[in-house]
Amino acid sequence: MNKFLEPYAAIVPFLGEALGENVEIALHDLTSEDQEVVAIANGKISGRTIGAKLSNLSIHYLETKQYLDHDYVMNYKTAGPDGKLLRSATYFIKQEGKTMPVGMLCINTNITDLKYMEVTLRKILGIKDDSQNSDVEFKRENPIEILSSPLDEMVDKYMKEALNEMGIPSYVLVERLKVDEKIRVVKYLQERGTFKVKGAIALVAKKLDVSEPTIYRYLKKS
């Protein structure tokens, strides 16, 4: 672990205890080769442990250099491995003299039950959904982060969403799709940052029953 991050790692267990078992705290070391989690509290929420890799959304943060304009990103949506909805925030840990952050401190709060209660109360009271006034701060349409899910699970999730958006029944095997439909699936995956995760190209190619060069061609067309 980068020594600069040691004080942050020391408070992770404290934050986990103070904020309660419904809140996960994770610290990423961005100076290491794998930029893995080096400290975590209440990891059962995402199923992650020490050594877990960056999520698709975290990779997007770094590639778009959002840390240049912001010290943190607040209130974005995250999907846990069991489908639970989480409300998340990321703090960029910056070191003087370095442009890129040396770490990221992430807080993920399980709000599944709270969201269900909110929706139910709105229906009972006849209150319209005021989602347009959301305080989510993220430069991307419909942001969603997949935490802890192995790459295979993340790809399956997005493929199912793509099929649903295309009006194709979920029981249809993706490898049986037409070429234009496969291109649309690849585009959907690309828009959600899937191919920024190591190994995604090979996995998607296998699931679509095409070669990796074909996936690259689809990406150029999408």
Which residue has 């060069």 as its token pair? 213
Q: What's the CA gap between 40 and 52, in Å, rounded?
A: 10
- Among 129, 146, 163, where does a domain finish? 146
Looking at the fold, whether 9 and 32 belong to one and the same domain comes out as yes
Q: Compute CA 35 distance to the chain's CA centroid, rounded to the nearest angstrom.
A: 15
Domain that holds residue 41: 3-146
- Among 93, 126, 146, where does a domain finish? 146
pTM of the model: 0.59
Q: What's the CA gap between 29 and 51, in Å, rounded?
A: 10
Write out pLDDT tens, residues 49-107: 999 888 777 887 888 888 998 999 988 877 766 667 788 899 999 999 899 999 999 99
Looking at the fold, whether 63 and 32 belong to one and the same domain comes out as yes
Looking at the fold, whether 77 and 187 belong to one and the same domain comes out as no
Looking at the fold, whether 106 and 181 belong to one and the same domain comes out as no
Q: Is the confidence at residue 14, as pLDDT, over 60?
A: yes
Total number of domains constituting the chain:
2
Residues β-bridged to residue 25 = 41, 107
Q: What percent of the chain has pLDDT over 90?
A: 43
- Among 146, 166, 187, where does a domain finish? 146
CA angle 13, 47, 65 (to 5 degrees): 75
Q: What's the CA gap between 32 and 67, in Å, rounded?
A: 18
Looking at the fold, whether 125 and 202 belong to one and the same domain comes out as no
